[in-house]
Structure formats: structure tokens, C-alpha cells
Amino acid sequence: MVAISFVEADLERKDGLELHKLHEIRSGGEASFTEAQLLEGFFQYVEKKKPRLVTFNGRSFDLPVLNYRGMLHGISAPWLNRGESRFENYGYRYSSDWHCDLMDVMADFGASTSAKLDEVSKLFGFPGKFGIDGSQVAETYAAGGIEDIRNYCETDALNTYLVYLRYALFSGDIDREGYYRLYR
């Protein structure tokens, strides 16, 4: 693991709707960080902030990889699957309060075929992938392209955020005014 990228947005609730304000798009740590340093920073950050995680295939890929690699490095994250109840934690699949895996939700939890982030992003008029894609990460890393990988991951994070906002509009979590206010 050489990059962990994310979008951080402030979230408020008003009259039953979510209001989002984009805070930043970045990769955690420094490009020179070891895998263990990146993971430690990620798990500490999530434990401190307790954010809603929004991913695209994160339940099936990203979080398991983060968890396995964290276990490899002896990192402790007991809070990850603990909450007030079994339904209030990052591991509970059917509530987006803690973790919303857009690929899972949009495919009705496996009832229909899932699509790729790049396809969904472009369908909605968002940038999608450009530069490199996941199949080129190892080659890019071998060539010393950590910054290219971080940029690629940040683009995926931005596309995920944009798709989430469209999903939130569709599902009624935000209204049109709140959605379009984000683009001003």
C-alpha cells in the first residue's frame, strides 16, 4: 500500500436533509511514508473523526485490504466493528450511516449487476479515470511514480464523492438546492 486518498466533507443535517461542504481532497501522510505509517495514520484518523466512509467497492476490496495490511503491521482498531449496537458500526452492511459502499448499494446489495466507478462517473458526466488506472499501479510504483499513484487515488476519491452526491440526491438525502449549492 503506497497511497490512501480521501475527500473530507463537513456534514450537517437540517430538516431531515444532509448538507455537505467540501473540505479537502488529499492523500494521507507523505509520499515517503511506509505502508505501516500510512495505515497507522488512516486508522488513527478514522478513530478520531468517526466519519461516514463512502467507498466504491470498499466493502469487498478497500476495507479488507486495509484491515489485512493493518493486522500484518500489528495495528489495533477495535472501534472499527464496535458500536452502540450491531447495526451502528463500520461493518454493518445495510446502513449507510457509518459506511456507504456505493457499488453495493447501487447494485441493491447484489440483487443486480454492479458497474465500475469509471463507468458510473462518466455516465453522470464526471471525469472518471484519467492518467493511470488500477492495473498500472505496480508498474507506476516500480518506475518511482508515487505522486502519479497518489493523484490517481485522489481522482478516484473525487469521483466517488461526486457519485455519492448524485446518489444522495436520488435517494432523498439531499435536495436539489443542496446538491446544486455544492457546485457554486
Look up the pTM and report it: 0.92
Burial 18-50 (b: 16+ CB within 10 A, else e): bbbeeeeeebbbeeebeeeebbbebbeebeeee
Q: What are the tens digits of pLDDT across the range 46-78?
A: 999 999 999 999 999 999 999 999 999 999 998
Closest CA to 18 of 184, 137, 157, 170: 170
Does domain 5-181 fall into CATH 3.30.420? Answer: yes
Cβ neighbours for 36, distance < 8 A, ≥ 6 positions apart: 73, 75
Task: State phi, psi for 87 to the nearest 5 degrees.
Answer: -95, -10
Closest CA to 7 of 163, 141, 170: 163
Does residue 113 have a pLDDT over 90? yes
Give the confidence band of 85 by pLDDT, cuts at 50, 70, 90. confident
d(CA 25, CA 71): 27
